[in-house]
Amino acid sequence: MQFSLNDFLIAVSFALDFMEMDRLGMQSNHGKRTAYLTVCIARRMNLTEEEIYDAAALSILHDNGLSESSLYERLPGEWDHAVTRFEGSRGHCMIGEKNVKDYPFLTEPQDVILYHHERYDGNGYFGLKGDDIPPYFPDYCSG
Ligand SMILES: [Fe+2]
């Protein structure tokens, strides 16, 4: 039996979608949609094929650290709030980063999943602000 990374990523994506459906009663295809947008942006940035592949993989994997304890029931009429609570734990960032530590990326992405909820204004889970947030592709983000 041959292991396919692409098949693995698709399986992870569907597993996360099923978790979302089970817990929130709807399916947003979040990982797949994030990957699509990431690939579009990465192509516009003229990233290499290896960088684009890793960016897509990281997009699909970015919420892999979600667990039963980090999921909450959706309350009626609280979709936006539910989404915030759904991902509202820095723990899923730390667990997710740890889970991909040995993933065979083609490049050397660092802490992409760990900091995927950081916000430019510093309101992310780890409070990093502006340029303190490590860019995924530093070579393309220097000023
Ligand atoms: Fe997340």
Q: Dump pLDDT digits (tens) for 47-67.
A: 999 999 999 999 999 999 887
Q: Is the Cβ–Cβ distance between 26 and 20 less than 8 Å?
A: yes
Domain residue ranges in the chain: 5-116
> Which amino acid would we find at residue 119?
R
Distance 78 CA to ligand 1 centre (A): 18
Distance 102 CA to ligand 1 centre (A): 20
Q: Dump pLDDT digits (tens) for 108-122.
A: 999 999 999 999 999
Distance 114 CA to ligand 1 centre (A): 9
Distance 81 CA to ligand 1 centre (A): 14
User: Could you count the other beta carbons within 10 Å of the beta carbon of residue 64?
Assistant: 22
What's this model's pTM, rounded to 2 decimal places? 0.82
Distance 119 CA to ligand 1 centre (A): 12
| Percentage of the chain exceeding pLDDT 90 | 61
